[in-house]
Amino acid sequence: MDRKPLKIGDLTARIPVIQGGMGVGISLSHLAGSVAANGGVGILSAAQIGFREPDFEEHPKEANLRAIQSQLAKARALAGGGIVGFNIMVATKDYADYVKAAVKAGADLIISGAGLPEKLPEYVKGSNTKIAPIVSTEKAAKVMLRIWKRKYNVVPDLLVIEGPKAGGHLGFHREQLEMFTDETYAQEVKKILTVVREIEADSHKNIPVVLAGGIYDRADMDRALALGVDGVQMGTRFVTTYECDADLSYKQAYIDCKKEQIGIVKSPVGMPGRAIFNTFIKHGSHKIDKKCLHCLEHCNPKEIPYCITRALIAAAKGNLDEALLFCGANAWKAEKLEHVADIMEEVKSSEFWKCRYLSVFRIPGIFFSVQITKQSI
């Protein structure tokens, strides 16, 4: 049986899967457009999105704002009318300008985390762009929803719960990452859902909720939906696709890595993150000998061990010895490159087990034996 579509206001994704925004340069027009074309929600990462623009080194902000428009247009051309949006980090310097540029370009949706997007409703006012904060705990959900209700009298069009198995920057203190198990975080998800349902009842508006972090295959998706969420967000699984915008070497790093090579790192942003422990990470600190690109609101080049923008651009370009290789906890499961269409086909329906048995049907002179095993419904 095919899953219920994901409805975000007047938008409908045939398959309740959002492709996570991954920067720098991992989820751009090709990946986002392909996911949207195959029934999901395609998300471009706005993080230094203009890094391939010719004037990026001299005018990074202008290059990024220009690329927001051009990358969305390219994604739309692939999407076939599907939903395409942006992930924009609150920690981004000039965050408001990036949000407004995405709105002006015609983004269907803006997902925002790496901080609480308190003023996001203000920046999209008067547009058709849907907004979705990312939260990781019940406390964060309560704070976020109350602020939007009190200051703007609005509720989210969508809420993303990002769990401790996610890749990249994480919305947890390191101690929380060590504290949560699959079972205890499942309880946290249910608490967040209770908060959301109370807001829904009060506002008379449906707020779909999607779960992110460690969602790699159909079985993971089944477990997530069983908690009561409306859909899932998947990032890591889409990295090892032909359509992913990253260099092949970055994708191969996922395929080659082992479970024990994935761990928690401290980002220059000041937040914990999950990455592959490559030579770059093991070295610890790296001399910053290029001009600051002013990517983050709070960053002092004199105090950080390396420039995160440079390290993430190196990853996108395949310069692995100089790269920060962000990934989700299940990146080690990747075995080969695959197409977006095949992933979406895999996860579009739920899975169940029928008892394994042998049935024998008798027609005069003929015997039929049918073995019933794992099936999709």
pLDDT at 367: 40
Provide the CATH topology of domain 6-246+335-352: TIM Barrel (3.20.20)
Is the model's pLDDT at 127 over the cut of 90? yes
Average pLDDT of the residues of the chain: 89
Collapsing DSSP states into helix, strand and coil, what is residue 209? Answer: strand
CA torsion through residues 180, 347, 328, 93, sign:
negative
Residue 376 confidence (pLDDT) above 70 = no
Confidence check: pLDDT of 20 > 70: yes
The pLDDT of residue 287 is 59
Tell me the pLDDT band of 293, cut-offs 50, 70 and 90.
confident
State the angle between helix axes of 182-203 and 138-152 in degrees (0 to 180), rounded to the nearest 10: 20
Q: Are 312 and 167 in contact (CB under 8 A)?
A: no
Supply the pLDDT for residue 366: 44
Question: Comparing C-alpha atoms, which of 39, 41, 109, 28 is closest to residue 73?
Answer: 28
Q: DSSP string covering 78-138, please?
A: HHTT-EEEEE--TTBTTHHHHHHHHHHHT-SEEEE-SS--TTHHHHHTTS--EEEEEE-SH
- Predicted confidence at residue 47, as pLDDT, reads 94
Task: List, in order, residues 6 or more apart from 93 with CB less than 8 Å away.
Answer: 61, 294, 295, 296, 297
Distance set, CA 30 to CA 50, 62, 236 (Å): 15, 22, 16
Q: Where are the domains of the chain?
A: 6-246+335-352, 259-322
Note the pLDDT of residue 372.
Answer: 37
* pLDDT of 73: 98
Q: What is the largest CA-CA distance in the chain?
A: 86
In which band, very low, low, confident or very high, does the pLDDT at 15 lie, cut at 50, 70 and 90?
very high
- First and final CA of the chain: distance in angstroms? 4
How far is 48 from 293, CA to CA, in rounded Å? 9
> Distances in Å between the alpha carbon of 14 and those of 2, 68, 255?
9, 25, 29
Question: Residue 189: phi, psi to the nearest 5?
Answer: -60, -45
Cα 203 to Cα 257: distance, rounded to the nearest angstrom = 46
Secondary structure (H, E, C), 46-73: CCCCCCCCCCCCCCHHHHHHHHHHHHHH
pLDDT at 172: 81
Mean pLDDT of 160-173: 89
CA gap 260, 158 in Å, rounded = 34
27 — alpha (psi -120 to 50), left (phi > 0) or beta? beta
Alpha-carbon span 18 to 41, nearest angstrom: 5
Residue with tokens 């910053």, as numbered in its chain: 288
pLDDT of the residue at 291: 73
The mean per-residue pLDDT over the stretch 255-270 comes to 90
Average pLDDT value for residue range 353-377? 39
DSSP annotation of 320: G
Centre a 10 Å sphere on the Cβ of residue 90 and count the other Cβ atoms it contains: 18
Q: What is the mean pLDDT of residues 170-183?
A: 83
Strand partners, 44: 86
The pLDDT of residue 206 is 95
Q: Does residue 199 contact residue 145 with C-beta atoms inside 8 Å? A: yes
pLDDT of residue 374: 39
Confidence of residue 288 (pLDDT cuts 50, 70, 90): low
- Least Cα distance to 211 among 196, 195, 189, 191 occurs for 189
CB atoms < 10 A from the CB of 56, how many? 20
Q: What is the H or E stretch that residue 227 is in?
A: none
**Is the pLDDT assigned to residue 26 strictly greater than 90?**
yes
Euclidean distance between CA atoms 99 and 120, whole angstroms: 8
CA atoms of 352 and 375, how far apart (whole Å) = 6
Can you give the length of the chain in residues? 377
Q: Tell me what pLDDT residue 173 has.
A: 79
